[in-house]
Amino acid sequence: AETKIIVTMNARELLHFFAQRCCNRAQWEIRAMAVAMLRLAKTIAPALFQNAGPPCLESSCPEGTLSCGKFDEVRRYFHSLS
């Protein structure tokens, strides 16, 4: 079912949203929307969102043993977003 959604977030909340929802462990629909939003955010404020994305971009995965195990692939993908 198609849904239209309107959200209001400041930059801090957007960074938190991207950290939670860009993760491979997030549901694919919300992850696709988060990545699309991140692309838009990077075009508007590249300096602010240059390191935005899942937490495993900058450190180890907080999921522990439930990690997707695709650190290198995830890092390449998010560092290539523009």
Q: Which residues are catalytic, by number?
A: 21
Give the C-alpha separation, 79 to 75, whole Å.
6
Gap between the Cα atoms of 71 and 55, Å rounded: 10
